[in-house]
A = this chain, B = another copy of it.
Amino acid sequence: MRQPPESPLRVACLQMEPHIGRKEANVARSLAMIAEAAADGANLVVLPELCNTGYVFETREEAFSLAESVPDGPTTHAWMQAAKQHDLFIVAGITERVGDKLYNAAVMVGPRGYVGTYRKNHLWGAEKLYFEPGDLGMPVFHAGAGRIAVAICYDIWFPETFRLAALQGADLLCVATNWVPMAEQPAHLPMMANILAMGGAHTNSMFVAAADRVGVERGQPFLGNSLIVNAAGWPIAGPASTEREEMLIADLNLADARRRRSLNEFNQLLRDRRTDVYGEMLGSAARPGPY
């Protein structure tokens, strides 16, 4: 007989299609999808990068005019209400304004309100014209028994992102993303972004839940292919379609993330690191813990 999971968490990735500049409609759409996920019993939902504003800004002024404070802006307020109403956690990408600065951020809210903010550490392309690089390190948030880290899109091109999360004991990395096509992707192999999610999960014994957007914005297509990966590195939901809005849902046993770090009687992934050869990760948020 199969044992019930010790640390169950039902995660939904909401693959949606934001439209540039139509913030009210985008937030309304996110709330409708969150309600669907709640009806399916989700405890945690993940939404794409910049899902309240859209992604392809034409100018910094356009981005600035759409940006909001976190947590006191209207988008975060709406998500906090939904989190309370549905008794779940939400991780969602948002265009954040702090004084004159802009950040490509993700907010986490829960049944008891605002949990925290992550700001994208690795900016892609023209984002470097609009946004400041993230200045909050790699925080790990708590959602019930689970430890949750957050990354945004290009962040997962840096294996350091997974490592920083895992070294702080994260069980799950939520990825809010807007993946764009890359040259040379063979049709018969998984998308490179999916490969990076699988490898990062496997080598850090950590679940990964990536919510991508779909649609074409000002000529820029996005890739969909959202997925949820288990702590051994294998997809347990998705990859989703390339073009449709849809919801992925999966039941995680977060205990697996902690258990699997031992590969056999001699090997434990995080302890086997040769920090004498390549150094510890030294950032403020990177305290190699007793995990």
Residues of A within 8 A of B (CB): 121-128, 133-134, 137-138, 154, 157-160, 162-164, 182-186, 189-190, 192, 195-196, 198-200, 202-203, 230, 232-235, 264-267, 269, 272-274, 276-286
Q: Tell me the interface secondary structure of chain A in the complex.
A: loop
In chain B, what residue has the closest Cβ to A122? Answer: B272
Known: A126-B266, A266-B124, A272-B158. A277 touches B202 (CB 8 A): no
Q: How far is the CB of A118 from chain B (nearest CB, A)?
A: 12
In chain B, what residue has the closest Cβ to A128? Answer: B266
Quick check: A189 and B192 within 8 Å, CB to CB?
no
In chain B, what residue has the closest Cβ to A186? Answer: B234
Docked pose: A21 CA to B81 CA in angstroms: 68
Which B residues touch A137, using CB under 8 A? 277
Q: How far is the CB of A210 from chain B (nearest CB, A)?
A: 14
Of A195, A264, A285, the most chain B CB neighbours within 10 A belong to A195
Docked pose: A202 CA to B284 CA in angstroms: 28
Copies of this chain per assembly? 2
Which B residues touch A230, using CB under 8 A? 184
Quick check: A283 and B273 within 8 Å, CB to CB?
no
In chain B, what residue has the closest Cβ to A182? Answer: B232
Docked pose: A199 CA to B232 CA in angstroms: 16
Q: How far is the CB of A286 from chain B (nearest CB, A)?
A: 6
Query: What are 14 A-B interface contacts by the 8 Å CB criterion?
Result: A124-B267, A125-B266, A127-B266, A128-B266, A138-B277, A157-B269, A158-B274, A159-B162, A164-B277, A184-B234, A189-B198, A195-B233, A279-B281, A279-B282
Docked pose: A284 CA to B235 CA in angstroms: 37
**Contact partner, A183, options B164, B185, B232, B277, Cβ 8 Å:** B232
Which B residues touch A266, using CB under 8 A? 123-128
Docked pose: A161 CA to B22 CA in angstroms: 45
4 nearest CB pairs, A to B: A279-B282, A159-B159, A199-B199, A277-B283
Docked pose: A125 CA to B265 CA in angstroms: 7
Which B residues touch A269, using CB under 8 A? 157
Quick check: B278 and A203 within 8 Å, CB to CB?
no
